[in-house]
Amino acid sequence: MGKVAFVFPGQASQYPGMGKELAEKYPSARAVFDEADKALGFSISQMCFAGSEEDLKQTANTQPAILTCSVAIYRVLAERGLTPDFVAGHSLGEYSALVAAGSLKFADAVQLVRKRGTYMQDAVPAGVGAMAAIMGLSPAVVADACKRAAENEICAPANLNSHEQTVISGHAGAVKRAVEIASQLGAKRAVMLPVSAPFHSALMMPAQEKLAIELKKVSFADLRVPLVTNVDADTETSGEEARDALIRQVTMPVRWEESVRLLIDEGVNTFVEVGPGRVLTGLLRQIERSVATLNVEDEKSLVATLDKVAGARSDAA
């Protein structure tokens, strides 16, 4: 068997009820939710298990909710003997990856992402920024459409998700213009996204500056397994470098397709999406169909993933 990478989802993977089944069945998962409640001073566990979609959609809630759910699932996998050779996370997911790699303490991470969510929410007044997803155009063509649409405003690629999908971010007017240009250029789909802020764009600089102060207060240990960072699409094992990557990540694009290709070059042939939803599983299929993609978000997917990995390991033995 080749190597295994754990990949951790970011914002937009959340849904009401996430993590509940595993927390009820596994004390190690429940302990993560309890620790999050304590660190945050309110019940993020209740918001995950029984909260409304509206509450979970607020960035300051979404970020700690997804992180907590992902780390709880990771702890159950580790307890069952499934550990990764590499980790990566999409945007917010990079914090989950750093907890899994032993660099960041979970209580520190959950407090950081709560602040990150608040700072990102507050960086730009409501309605000023926007994001859109462009399907079916190459990243280079999308970048060109953004340039043409900018007209002295900010508009740029934010998530380089796959050769089929690029998310753009910036001033609302410029993003709308880019969507029109992309449609004229033959995009399969070009749609505005229901997000509350223009993430991974230069408009997020106020959030980056505030978050940098918070990140510098927290200790980052060197990583037990290598992380592929969003901003550089390169492997990292230094805690200091990982912190620096989290700071730069706020205003820089997520280089997801490059990150996945690097992992494949490093010998990864099994990807396990650890956390709510299957967004990254879908992107992995767009990027490279030859690799095995698994996900764990509830009891059924946990059992299926453990069985498949055990089977692959015994075949390789």
CA-to-CA distance for 209 and 229, rounded, in angstroms? 19
Q: Edge to edge, what strands does the sheet with 86-89 contain?
A: 235-236, 227-228, 86-89, 3-8, 268-274, 292-296
**Distance (Å, whole) CA 268 – CA 261:** 9
Residue with tokens 């918001």: 47
The catalytically annotated residue of 91, 103, 196, 201 is 91
d(CA 234, CA 307) in angstroms, rounded, equals 31
Identify whether 90 is a catalytic site residue: no
CA distances from 100 to 222, 238, 291 (A): 12, 14, 22
Q: Which residue in 70, 103, 196, 200 is the catalytic one? A: 200
What is the layout of strands, in order, in the sheet containing 189-192?
155-162, 165-171, 129-135, 189-192
Is 91 annotated as catalytic? yes
**Catalytic residue IDs:** 91, 200
